[in-house]
Amino acid sequence: LSLYSSPARETKYVENPQTQLEEGVSRLRHVMEPYTAWCQTELIDSSKVNVDSSLCSDFFSEGCEFLQNPPAGFYPRLGVIGFAGIVGLFLARGSKIKKLVYPAGLMGIGASMYYPQQAVSIAKVAGTQLYDWSLQGYIAVESLWKDN
């Protein structure tokens, strides 16, 4: 209970009048609304089909499942390989080529210590590819030399 009586206040909300630009944009939005709604439904339907049929969802689900139940010693190995990459970045002061070669090389050495069978199979494929590329380069240089 109040000891003092207060007069009743009558307040009402007054909206600012719209400018010509706001009115034009509003009219444009109302005119374009059916077309934008149609485009949105078409895009959503087509994206659902693409996502459902893609192989990426299987890849990511397998990756998440692997990280939730990793094999024994996976995270320490991952830490050592990652630390080797950081050391490579630290040692690669100067040129940009060193910044590419040192971290990749040290991470490759670290990974090959923990996964020797996979490293051997990758080395065989890489060696074959390097041989093919060098042979193609030799043939290209030889053909240029003979043409001149």
3-state secondary structure the chain: CCCCCCCCCCCCCCCCCCCHHHHHHHHHHHHHHHHHHHHHHHHHHHHHHHHHHCCHHHHHHHHHHHHHCCCCCHHHHHHHHHHHHHHHHHHCCCCHHHHHHHHHHHHHHHHHHHCHHHHHHHHHHHHHHHHHHHHHHHHHHHHHHHHC
C-alpha to C-alpha distances, 78 to 70, 71, 83, 110, nearest whole angstrom: 11, 12, 8, 9
Report yes or no: 91 and 101 within 8 Å, Cβ to Cβ.
no
Instruction: Give the Å distances, CA to CA, from 32 to 35, 36, 42, 107, 110.
Output: 5, 6, 16, 55, 59
pLDDT grade, residue 131 (50/70/90)?
A: very high
- Angle, alpha carbons 42-44-45 (nearest 5°): 65
Q: Identify the pLDDT of residue 7.
A: 67
Question: Residue 73 above 80 pLDDT?
Answer: yes
Q: What is the pTM of this model?
A: 0.48
For the cut 60, the answer to whether the pLDDT of residue 50 exceeds it is no
Report the share of the chain in percent with pLDDT over 90.
Answer: 30
Q: Looking at the predicted structure, is the pLDDT value of residue 52 above 60?
A: no
Decide: 130 and 112 in contact? Cβ < 8 Å. Answer: no
Q: Which of the residue ranges 16-20, 41-45, 64-68, 115-119 would you say has the lowest mean pLDDT?
A: 41-45
Q: What confidence score (pLDDT) does residue 12 get?
A: 78
pLDDT at 58 over 80: no
The pLDDT assigned to 129 comes to: 93
Q: What is the mean pLDDT of residues 49-64?
A: 63
Q: Which is more confidently placed, 50 or 105?
A: 105
Q: Residue 87 above 80 pLDDT?
A: yes
pLDDT greater than 60 at residue 48: no
The yes-or-no verdict on residue 11 having pLDDT over 90 is no
